[in-house]
Structure 1
Amino acid sequence: MERPPLDGSERFAIVVAEWNRSITAKLLQGALSTLVGAGVSESQIDVVWVPGAWEIPVVAQRFAQSESCSAVICLGAVIRGETSHDQHINRAVSLSLQQISLANDLPMLFGLLTCETMEQAIHRSGGNVGNKGIECAEAALAMVALLKNCPPA
């Protein structure tokens, strides 16, 4: 599917978790290279690091409420441990981001890896399963173009 060209007015925010930085930095690099490759100037991209995935929604909400962004890309990596802690974080973050997206009529891209092992995270951050940061940036570009052609809310 061919995407209409950007008009230069688009701004993108990327909220990325510091926790598991060896993984999230690769997701961020994938997202940045995809946006820049599509013609988005680096000056049109705001990157904010937060301590962990749990903190992503509050910063994503700030960007959404500022009405300065065309889309918010949320990147993180939650890896299962010995308890169910990961499940609570994953569910809360995913539901929060969905609510923020709908309440603000703004694409909110879910790039939170929810992996059983570090090996799975490595594979999804540029390994043999691709890079979720790239996928989220591509989806953000597609959604921004799509919403430009949809009736206003």
Structure 2
Amino acid sequence: MKIIENSLKSSHIKIAIVVARFNEFINKNLLDGAISTLKLVGQISYENIHTIWVPGVCEIPLTIKNLIMKKRYNGFITIGTIIKGETLHFEIISRDLNVIISNISIENNVPIISSILYLNNIQQGIDRAGAKLGNRGSDAALSLLEMINLLKNI
């Protein structure tokens, strides 16, 4: 039996992180967690980590699709925060966004790890961006490192 195990070190790769500006006070902490993990665990140089800011989460898929066409990156992290309000906006975006991003990943055979938080309130975002419940940006970076190495090894 062959077992494929993957290292998290990927020092010679390029990563793009697409971050929504809307709810920036939470997203900035997620971004910091992702970059820190890519540098410390993945040993990726700062020059090989590119951050692209977009207005909101709805602009993330198109941006990722265009970045993939440039063929410069080995993988992507998406960062955004959607906080439930009084309208249907939350439900519509929440339902469709992950499906769209997953489809882009599968169609282009490139790992895209989502750190888009779907929240009931601001406190949940603060807790998941480094306060009480770890940092979901850091978690996304770990998943991306593993997936890049896994795809190389299979």
Matched, 1:73 2:77: yes
Shift, 1:67, TM fit: 1.8
Q: Distance in 2 between matches of 1:91 and 1:13?
A: 24
Higher alpha-carbon deviation: 82-91 or 139-148:
82-91
Structure 1 unaligned runs (5+)?
Answer: none
Shift, 1:5, TM fit: 3.5
Shift, 1:6, TM fit: 2.2
When the two structures are superposed, what TM-score results if normalisation uses the length of structure 1? 0.93
Given candidates 114, 124, 142, the residue that maps to 1:110 is: 114
Deviating beyond 4 angstroms after TM superposition, the runs of 4 or more aligned structure 1 residues are none
Letter in 1 for 2:114: F
Tell me what 1:24 maps to: 27
Q: Distance in 2 between matches of 1:130 and 1:4?
A: 19
Structure 2 unaligned runs (5+)?
Answer: none
Shift, 1:4, TM fit: 5.6
RMSD in angstroms over aligned alpha carbons?
Answer: 1.3
Letter in 1 for 2:59: E
Output aligned runs, 1:1-153, within 5 Å. 3=7, 5-6=9-10, 8=12, 10-37=13-40, 38-150=42-154
Alignment length (residue pairs):
149
User: Matched residues, percent identical?
Assistant: 34
Q: Distance in 1 between matches of 2:10 and 2:126?
A: 32
Shift, 1:62, TM fit: 1.2
Q: Distance in 2 between matches of 1:122 and 1:7?
A: 30
Letter in 1 for 2:22: W
Contact 2:8 2:145 in 1 (8 A): no
